[in-house]
Amino acid sequence: MPEMTIAEALREGIREEMRRDPSVFCLGEDIGIPGGFGGAFTVTLGLSDEFGHDRILDTPISEIGIAGVAIGAAMTGMRPIADVQYGDFLFCMMDQLANQAAKMTYMSGGTVKVPLVMRAPVGSTRRGSQHAQSLEAFFTHIPGLKVLAPSTAYDAKGLLKSAIRDDNPVLIFEHKLLYGSKGGRSEKGALTAVGEVPSEDYVVPIGKGVVRRTGKDVTIVGKLLTVYRALEAAQELAQEGIEAEVIDPRTLIPLDKEIILESVRKTGRLVVVEEDNITHGWGAEIAAMVAEEAFFYLDAPIKRVAAPDTPPPFAPPMEAFYVPSTARVVSAVKSLF
């Protein structure tokens, strides 16, 4: 099986789906210009060579327009994959996503569908407050959207393919430090999430989480980059005799609640790790869900490890303080024993 970075895996996923289905196309800023960037993180690099500029459609800097165009095309027989250069810009198209895309099927009494995909990079990477946010929690709270967060190359391709074939609006959050983009677009502090990716057609089903490491003492739930932080923490903890189970939900909406509950029923302890601000973050729902549905299995308070309630700061020492570290995960786990 070929090894790929996440950027490559996404690119191959788009390529295969575009070959398979003529209604699939991409749109976004700087995604297909010859000599250009192939999107902010190279995901669409080279695709316009094969598919031309009608199907790898470069847009003006008009985020409301990009989202609206994707919705209108999706409602009339196409399957757009829209690209936003940084997740932070989703706020510019929030009305289109929250009030239009997410509600259209519902408001029409189920008579129309909106099969669109929106891809958005998240994560703090020394670019300051407006190019760094993790926005998952804003979108997991909008009924009508599906929300994915792949952390491996295999999942990235498989989930993207599921998203393209899904008849609903699907947001995919991708972490800048996991892309493995090369050259000018390589990122300081990046992890190389290179992995084996089948060349034959496969999908990863939406709504299924995965246990990344088994353990009996504590459950750690992470997503995107924090899956890796959780795994590093688990290794350290193992040396002190604490066996952590690490769960990667992969799909945030719909959530595989059962995989989390099953683990907590076994371990009796839960730590949720995410890069976003702690208060009213994504982790709050995981904690609240478990506090309701597995309360009697819990042996300790539920801990969340997340960014403090500040915008992402620029300078590296402050940014490192902001983004949850492996050490913080370790100490949160230990505080439960």
Q: Does 59 bind ligand TPP (CB under 6 A)?
A: no
175 noted as active-site residue: no
Query: Minimum Å distance from CB 154 to its own copies?
Result: 27
Structure tokens at 262: 């099953």
Judged by CB under 6 A, which of 42, 48, 85, 140 binds ligand TPP?
85
Judged by CB under 6 A, which of 29, 136, 276, 319 binds ligand TPP?
29
Measured from the CB atom, the residue of 139 and 322 that comes closer to other proteins is 322
Strands 195-196 and 218-221: unpaired
Query: Minimum Å distance from CB 55 to other proteins?
Result: 8
Q: Which does 268 bind (CB under 5 to 8 A by kind): its own copies, other proteins, ligand TPP, none?
A: none
Query: Minimum Å distance from CB 42 to ligand TPP?
Result: 15
Select from 225, 243, 190 the least CA-distant residue to 306: 225
Select from 307, 310, 264 the least CA-distant residue to 286: 264
Strands 24-28 and 56-58: parallel
Q: Which does 204 bind (CB under 5 to 8 A by kind): its own copies, other proteins, ligand TPP, none?
A: none
Q: Does 83 bind ligand TPP (CB under 6 A)?
A: no
d(CA 5, CA 332): 31
Can you count the helices (H) and strands (E) in the chain? 12, 14
Work out the end-to-end distance of the chain between its first and last CA atoms, rounded to an integer number of angstroms. Answer: 42
Q: Does 58 bind other proteins (CB under 8 A)?
A: yes
Amino acid at 22: P
Q: Which does 127 bind (CB under 5 to 8 A by kind): its own copies, other proteins, ligand TPP, none?
A: other proteins
d(CA 113, CA 77): 9
Question: Would you call 240 exposed, middle or buried from its count of C-beta atoms within 10 A (0-12, 13-18, 19+)?
Answer: exposed
Q: Residue 175 has what DSSP assignment? A: E
Query: Minimum Å distance from CB 222 to its own copies?
Result: 16
By CB under 8 A, the residues from 249 to 308 that bind other proteins are 308
Q: Which helix (H) or strand (E) holds 48?
A: helix 47-55
Q: Does 26 bind other proteins (CB under 8 A)?
A: no
- Catalytic residue, chosen from 131, 141, 175, 280, is 131
Residues in binding contact with ligand TPP, number by CB under 6 A: 6
| Catalytic annotation, residues | 131
Footprint on this chain of ligand TPP (rule: CB under 6 A): 29, 61, 63, 85, 89, 92
